[in-house]
Amino acid sequence: MRSPLIRLSVLLLALLAVPVLHAQREKLPEEDLEIVQQKWPSAKKDSTGIRYIILREGTGLNPLPGETVAVLYKGSFLNGTTFDQSANPAKPFVFRVGREQVIQGWDYTLPQMKRGERRLLIVPPELAYGTRGQSGRIPRNATLVFEIELLEIKAD
């Protein structure tokens, strides 16, 4: 039979492990998670911790790492304030996928999209600008929301 001290120790360890396990699975800060669940209850969560909603299905192939893509996007905070956007189809934002030219959240997501697809992304801080933020524009530890439309996969 186990002593009461051992049982108490096991119980304490189990109770302490629950928040640690939750923290490993969930990358959004708790207060941000509540907002996201209220505003976008249908958002799916992928293995990276990014939440998304496909607003319009695309067609064709997915971009491969190293390929150049042209996108339109709008970036905002959870409160809806826009911090950046590229909305002119004549002058889309162009970059190479998987080459660290954009935040990790985009590099993880674009290879899953097809040409013409519009997707809403909710990117946890660690896959965006993290603890450093972006001076004067994006605060530290900000969860970011993007609407991204993959216009084109450019032939190199």
For residue 53, give Cα distances in angstroms to 7, 14, 32, 140. 45, 35, 17, 25
73 a catalytic residue: yes
* Catalytic member of 50, 103, 138, 148: 103
Q: Are 70 and 92 in contact (CB under 8 A)?
A: yes
For tokens 């909305």, the residue is: 87
* Catalytic member of 35, 53, 54, 83: 83
* Catalytic member of 52, 122, 146, 153: 146
Instruction: Count other Cβ atoms within 10 Å, centred on residue 32.
Output: 18
> Radius of gyration of the chain from Cα atoms?
19
* Catalytic member of 73, 93, 108, 153: 73
32 a catalytic residue: no
Q: How far apart are CA 82 and CA 72, in angstroms?
A: 14
52 a catalytic residue: no
* Catalytic member of 35, 54, 84, 95: 84
95 a catalytic residue: no
84 a catalytic residue: yes
Catalytic residues, which ones? 73, 83-84, 103, 129, 146
